[in-house]
Structures are given as structure tokens and as C-alpha cells.
Amino acid sequence: MRTQVGIIGAGPAGLLLAHLLHRAGVDAVVIEARDRAYVEGRIRAGLLEQGSVDTLTEAGLAARLHREGLAHDGMDLRFEGEHHRIDLAGLTGKRVTIYGQQEVVRDLIAQRLEDGLPLVFEAADVAVHDIGGSPRITWAGGALDCDFIAGCDGFHGICRGAIPADALTLHDRIYPFAWLGILAQAPPASHELIYARHADGFALATMRSETLSRMYIQCAPDEDLAQWSDARIWDALHTRLARAGLPSQVHEGPIIQKGVTAMRSFVAEPMRYGKLFLAGDAAHIVPPTGAKGMNLAIADVRVLARALDDACHGRGEALLDGYSATCLERIWQVQRFSWWMTQMLHRTDHGDGFEHRIQTAELRYVVGSEAARTTLAENYVGLPYAA
């Protein structure tokens, strides 16, 4: 029997798409390369835009999110020892929510299994065939004929590479810095997020709960973690997050996870070839400074689910034909914002202090102008979805 949609990848994009399709009465199979424990344990994004929370709520997936998520009405910007609160709710009427990506993924997997719907873990050697005609997905020990394939297999997946190179335009910027991220058993520095621009480099204090801190510091892309003792990490955080004349708010505690994340801006266009549709990180990457990666994946699959619903129910392919262009409108807005936050907050100096002074001027303008604060806030809480 033919399945309507074959979905490759059980990250937020693939799992949410599968759920939205199920609610629309479209059958789908999700095929994931890794095992369930690995997928559920992968620590990544933490911040949901208001629209992402609304999407998960409307899809009936947000009971735990509303119990355990931490809603934030503002965030802090720090530079030159100054600290300034950006009143996100006051400026936009919207808020953001801290809820780990792995919690979103856990909720989605639990729902899928409870619904008794197909989700294949540990699928080795996944490949796609005849994507311009009658699509077929194969893996070690399995095969699936389908009408459409959704490539939700992240940046390192196989779907984007299955599209002929001359049918894709790739835009790629790799930044000359990275983030060293830690998870620590310590109360968050503040109940809202703190983004700090410091002469030593960027720092971000975020959290996963009232007792679990997530913190990042700018480092080199090839940074050797062995050079970063816990004491050195705490020192860097105290220094970069300091406010003049006030004690550092950073609370130390056991560090239970450490890792380095590379930073890039990447877009593959168009996000479709024949019957294959790319969504989420398979099609685009943003530097994490704007907290947008998972939110953009959710925005893509909202559009794709509606389009596949129409196509699979005989209501035509106009939305599918418009899928890539509709998504790319938002993607480029989000790319711009993520790039802007990144270049405003990271150390990019060439040694003469020029970039540092430009950043200070820009940050002073942002905190000093309601128009500029509103621009930041509107993008941070999430731009409205296309109708």
C-alpha cells in the first residue's frame, strides 16, 4: 500500500509535521536514523516564540509545555557594564517561553506512540529514489512508496543532497567564532535571558528550569574543550555578564554538559524538488543568537502541513507550489534578524576597536530608542505568520 507522506527525520520539524498531518487525516510514516533515547536526549534549542507555543497549543500538544514552560515578558541586554531590560510584552503584546527542544520532541514522540502511528527509529542507510516521479524511501530492512517526501532530516541529512546540485542555490556564511555551551545544576542568573556583549566576547545566560542553567560563551570554532576547566568557564561568565558596581548574578553549580556549537547562516533555495519538500534545518541554518532555529522549523511545517492536506485531499497543489516561496519570505526575515543580533553582540574586532565602538553605538541606539527596541522585540518574539 502506498503511504501519502514519507517523513525523514524525527526532530521537531518531522514530528510536528507528522502530527499536523494526522490531525488533517493524512497518513504519514516517520523514519529516523537514531534511536529514541538519543533523539530525546539531544540538548539544543530552548526558546519558543509565541507563535510556536500557539501552534503547539492548537495542535493539542502543549499540556506539559504550559505546566513546565517558563514564560518571559522581557530580556536583558548588557554591554560596557550597563544593563537594560527590553520589555518584550510591553512593546509587542507577546512573550516568549523557555521549554527545551528535547521536551518538545519528547511530547511529540509520546503523542505519536500513544496515537499508535508509525515511527521507525534506527533506520540505517536511508535513501530517497525517483523524487521527480514516484517517490520511494528505502532503508536497511525497509521500504516505503509514497506520494510526497518531507525532508526533515536536519542540516546533515540526506534529503538536500538528493536534489540535483544545479536545481539548488546555496547561500552559506560561516562565522569565525562559535559558542561553548554548558548545562549546570544552578539557579539561573536572572529569571529572564541575559545577552551580553563584552570585550572578551559574547555571553548568554539562559535556563531550562528554576534549578538548571544553560549558558553560552563565545569561543573559537576549533576551541579545545580540554582547555576550559569549570573554573575558567565560571570566570568567563562572571566577567562577561558583570554589571558595573554590582555583584555578578551568575550562580555556580555542577556542570553536567559541555559542548561547542559552530555558527553559520545557510539557506538552500528552492525548498522543493519534484515530490521532495525540505523543511527546518535541512533547508536552512541560523546562528543561535536570535533563538530562531526550532521556531523556523515549526513555521515551515505549518505551511507544509496545510499544503499537503490540500494536495492529499484533492483540493489542488497551489499551496504546495507556493510552499518554498511562502517559507523563504519568513526565512530571509529571520536570517536577517539572526545575523544582525550575531554581528551586534559578538567580538569581531580586528584589533583597533572599530567594530567594538560601532557595536556600542548600535547597542546604545537600540536601548535608547523605543522604535529600535520595538524592532528588536517584534523580531525576537516572532514575526506574524503569513495568512
- Of 12, 19, 94, 195, the catalytic one is 195
**How many residues in the chain?**
387
Work out how close the CB of 129 gets to ligand PHB at its nearest, in angstroms, rounded to a whole number.
Answer: 37
22: annotated active-site residue = no
> Residue 272 and residue 296: Cα distance in Å, rounded?
17
Q: Nearer Cβ to ligand PHB, position 43 or 158? A: 43
10 binds, among ligand PHB, ligand RFL, none (CB under 5 to 8 A by kind): ligand RFL
289 binds, among ligand RFL, ligand PHB, none (CB under 5 to 8 A by kind): ligand PHB
Q: What are the DSSP E strand ranges found in the chain?
A: 3-8, 28-31, 47-48, 70-72, 75-79, 82-86, 96-98, 119-120, 127-129, 136-139, 142-151, 169-184, 193-197, 203-209, 212-219, 255-269, 272-273, 276-278, 284-285
Q: Is 47 in the site for ligand RFL (CB under 6 A)?
A: yes
Q: Is 151 in the site for ligand RFL (CB under 6 A)?
A: no
| Radius of gyration of the chain from its Cα atoms, rounded to whole angstroms | 21
Three-state secondary-structure class, residue 53: helix
Stretch that binds ligand PHB, among 26-34, 41-49, 61-69, 353-361 (CB under 6 A): 41-49
- Cell numbers for 299: 513555521
Q: Nearer Cβ to ligand PHB, position 44 or 275? A: 44
- Of 19, 94, 275, 292, the catalytic one is 292
38: annotated active-site residue = no
Cα distances (Å, whole numbers) of residue 273 to 30, 163, 171, 282: 20, 6, 17, 13
Stretch that binds ligand RFL, among 20-28, 288-296, 342-350, 377-385 (CB under 6 A): 288-296
- Within 8 A by CB and 6+ apart from 171, the residues are 265, 266, 267, 268, 269
264: phi then psi, degrees, rounded to nearest 5: -150, 160
Please pick, from the candidates 6, 9, 151, 382, the single residue that binds ligand RFL as defined by CB under 6 A: 9
Class of residue 59 by CB neighbours under 10 A (exposed 0-12, middle 13-18, buried 19+): middle
Q: Is 209 in the site for ligand RFL (CB under 6 A)?
A: no
Q: Is 342 in the site for ligand PHB (CB under 6 A)?
A: no
Q: Nearer Cβ to ligand RFL, position 149 or 242? A: 149
Work out how close the CB of 356 gets to ligand PHB at its nearest, in angstroms, rounded to a whole number.
Answer: 21
Strands 75-79 and 96-98: unpaired
Q: What is the DSSP letter of 281?
A: G
346: annotated active-site residue = no
72: annotated active-site residue = yes
Strands 119-120 and 28-31: parallel
Q: What is the 3-state secondary structure (H, E, C) of 134-154?
A: CCEEEECCEEEEEEEEEECCC
Stretch that binds ligand PHB, among 48-56, 63-71, 287-295, 325-333 (CB under 6 A): 287-295
292: annotated active-site residue = yes
Please pick, from the candidates 50, 92, 295, 342, the single residue that binds ligand RFL as defined by CB under 6 A: 295
Q: Nearer Cβ to ligand RFL, position 126 or 311? A: 126
Instruction: Please give the span between the terminal C-alpha atoms of the chain, in angstroms, as a whole number.
Output: 35
51 binds, among ligand RFL, ligand PHB, none (CB under 5 to 8 A by kind): none
Stretch that binds ligand PHB, among 40-48, 77-85, 311-319, 325-333 (CB under 6 A): 40-48
- Of 19, 72, 284, 346, the catalytic one is 72
172: phi then psi, degrees, rounded to nearest 5: -140, 125
- Of 273, 288, 323, 356, the catalytic one is 288
Class of residue 320 by CB neighbours under 10 A (exposed 0-12, middle 13-18, buried 19+): buried
Q: Is 100 in the site for ligand RFL (CB under 6 A)?
A: no
Q: Is 23 in the site for ligand RFL (CB under 6 A)?
A: no
Q: Sign of dihedral through CA atoms 296, 183, 155, 227?
A: positive
Q: Is 289 in the site for ligand PHB (CB under 6 A)?
A: yes
Q: Is 281 in the site for ligand RFL (CB under 6 A)?
A: yes
Closest of 287, 18, 275, 12 to residue 154, by C-alpha: 12
Interface ranges with ligand RFL (CB under 6 A)? 8-14, 31-34, 39, 44-47, 101, 123, 126, 152-154, 157-158, 181, 261, 280-281, 288, 291-295, 297
Interface ranges with ligand PHB (CB under 6 A)? 45-47, 193, 204, 206, 214, 288-289, 291
Q: Catalytic site residues?
A: 72, 195, 288, 292, 380
